[in-house]
Amino acid sequence: MLLTSFEHDRYIARALDGVLAQRGVDFELLVGDDASTDGTRAVIAEYARAHPGVIRTFLPQRNLGNGGKAIFSDLIGMARGDYLAVLDGDDYWTAPDKLARQVAYLDEHPECSMCFHNVLCVYEDGARADEPYNGPDQPAEVDVAALLDRCVVASCSPLFRRETICPLPPWYFQLPWGDWSLYFIAAEHGALRYLPDVMGVYRIHNAGMYSALSRLEALERRSDFYAGLAVPQAHERARRRKVAETWVKRALEHNRLAQRPAALRCLVRAARVSPVSVPRVLRDRRRGRAGTTRSGLR
């Protein structure tokens, strides 16, 4: 089990408690802190002293950078189990049988490379009511096409077969997000299956890597993500459409901000990548379908 943290002193104890409460399966807990400057490491050290047979720590003296992807890769290399569960230090698990249920599922379904479950989205500022990450219509199996549309996997929910994401490919480290891209990697090796029960909490707060971004910044990250993503050839045209869509939406946002030259440049970029996507996105915008979702901008 891999737990990564950075400046999570307010949250890390809850994350550790949720892991240590797991029953019905043997596991080791690898905790990697990316050189936090708050009290995160003190909390980790206290838990490691109290659970020496369970917790191993990785505490580099400097921040390894790359948005946490570097330290995550190091933790994968340190892991000894056949399965890998992942957790950020500001999220936590709520079901003590979460790991046992997921391990049993992968044991029973060798065709699966990963399984994941529903979680509760908790908005720390109270701006929105708590809500499930996945709706009742979430399919039981996720394919690359669904992943291209949006990230349907909450980052605190998946369990991977270790060999499906180890080692991580070079292109992984160039992308703005380390979680979403993992699911594309896992999809190359088997099915991705969904368990509908809520077994964790995904916190949304202003210190989060995504939630603190402006709409334009978030769209820029989306462009970078789709542009650098590697997908099977059968999905390459769909990936290019997603790249173009983000450029069109960037144009619309620049236009809203009265930045007309930047808007025009974005439209030109979109047309170069996938000409057919430009009129479709603009048509959807006029119909009022452009908006946001929990897992990012549409």
- CATH code for the domain in which residue 98 is found: 3.90.550.10
237 and 197 part of one domain: no
pTM recorded for the entire structure: 0.91
* Strands 112-123 and 159-161, sheet pairing: antiparallel
* Strands 112-123 and 131-132, sheet pairing: antiparallel
User: What are the 10-residue block averages of pLDDT along the chain, 298 residues in total?
Assistant: 96 98 97 97 98 96 94 96 97 98 98 98 91 97 96 98 96 95 97 98 78 87 96 96 95 95 95 84 68 40
14 and 79 part of one domain: yes
Nearest to 184 by CA among 153, 144, 227, 224: 144
Q: Is residue 84 part of a domain?
A: yes
42 and 81 part of one domain: yes
Helices 40-50/12-20 angle, 10° precision = 20
Contact in structure between 198 and 117 (CB atoms under 8 Å): yes
Q: Is residue 253 part of a domain?
A: yes
Domain assignment of residue 237, given as a range:
215-297
Q: Is residue 159 part of a domain?
A: yes
Supply the pLDDT for residue 210.
62
182 and 266 part of one domain: no
Nearest to 140 by CA among 179, 105, 100, 188: 105
Supply the pLDDT for residue 183.
98
Supply the pLDDT for residue 126.
85
Domain boundary pick from 204, 231, 259: 204
- How many domains, the chain? 2
222 and 247 part of one domain: yes
Separation CA 213–CA 206 (nearest Å): 9
34 and 177 part of one domain: yes
